[in-house]
């Protein structure tokens, strides 16, 4: 009969399990798998400011003085409109980079919509002064941005409201307006085919304006609920250690 040699260590382990049960690893020596690389990167980026998407957002902010220079310093409505349209068309890039590079940060979640709102307020104010778009439309956009921005600032600073992300409807409204407003400005320029851009301004601008006001009204109950939740958390106090 053929026999198979069994190593001494295996025989000892088998005999030990027969008499004493399965052998358990020594506490503190369990093998642990390292966390995935993207999880580590995301954790590191959570509190970071100097990330690729944040730098991209900052670059978009730096284009604002150039927009004002083109509009007033060079009297170039077409150039200012194309620049503003480019800023609107690249609004999604910083969010995409944050997810793609696993660099989503709390600073970026606040910085990106703040820059978008600042671009709106400054550019639309400049267009009102330049009379490059329907005045009532620009005022409606401007009032909405100021009201929403003021509501968020007061709720956050005075009532310690926890921050919540911008809704998809809000992002869509921003995108539509960032195409509609430059369309009006191009329509008021001497650019070739400016009449078609004027029509495009209405096609993008009116739905964007209506959606933006709908989102603003929808934010009110969310802000009230978030303020109430933050107030309840303050009353409860820190959770005692166990």
For 66-110, the pLDDT digits (tens) are: 999 999 999 999 999 999 999 988 988 988 999 999 999 888 888
Which helix (H) or strand (E) segment is 5 a member of? none
**Closest to 122 (Cα-Cα) out of 63, 184, 203, 191:** 63
Residue 238: predicted pLDDT: 56
Gap between the Cα atoms of 26 and 228, Å rounded: 49
For 147-165, the pLDDT digits (tens) are: 998 898 888 888 888 877 7
- Options 1.20.140.10, 3.40.630.30, 1.20.120.1760, 2.60.40.10; CATH for 37-222 is 1.20.120.1760
Q: How many CB atoms lie within 10 A of CB 66?
A: 13
Overall average pLDDT of the 194-202 stretch: 95
Overall average pLDDT of the 181-207 stretch: 95
Domain boundaries, the chain: 37-222
This prediction has a pTM of: 0.73
Lowest mean pLDDT among 69-73, 128-132, 166-170, 216-220: 166-170
**DSSP string over 27-55:** TT----PPPPHHHHHHHHHTT-SS-HHHH
For 9-63, the pLDDT digits (tens) are: 545 554 455 445 555 555 554 555 555 555 444 444 556 888 999 999 999 999 9
């Amino acid at each position: 009969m053929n026999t198979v040699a069994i190593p001494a260590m295996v025989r000892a382990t088998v005999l030990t399990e027969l008499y004493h049960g399965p052998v358990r690893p020594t506490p503190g020596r369990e093998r642990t798998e390292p966390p995935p690389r993207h999880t580590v990167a995301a954790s590191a980026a959570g509190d970071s400011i100097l990330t690729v998407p944040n730098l991209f957002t900052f670059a978009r902010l730096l284009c604002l003085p150039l927009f004002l220079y083109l509009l007033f310093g060079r009297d170039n409505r077409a150039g200012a409109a194309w620049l503003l349209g480019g800023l609107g068309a690249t609004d999604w890039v910083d969010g995409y980079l944050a997810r793609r590079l696993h660099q989503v940060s709390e600073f970026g979640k606040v910085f990106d919509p703040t820059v978008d709102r600042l671009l709106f307020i400054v550019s639309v104010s400049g267009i009102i002064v330049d009379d490059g778009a329907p005045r009532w439309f620009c005022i409606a956009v401007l009032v909405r941005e100021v009201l929403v921005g003021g509501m968020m600032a007061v709720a956050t600073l005075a009532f310690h409201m926890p921050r919540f992300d911008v809704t998809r409807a809000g992002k869509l409204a921003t995108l539509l307006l960032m195409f509609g407003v430059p369309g009006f400005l191009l329509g008021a320029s001497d650019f070739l085919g400016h009449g078609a851009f004027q029509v495009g301004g209405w096609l993008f601008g009116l739905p964007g304006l209506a959606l933006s006001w709908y989102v603003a009204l929808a934010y009110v109950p969310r802000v009230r609920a978030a303020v109430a939740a933050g107030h309840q958390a303050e009353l409860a106090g820190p959770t005692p250690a166990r």
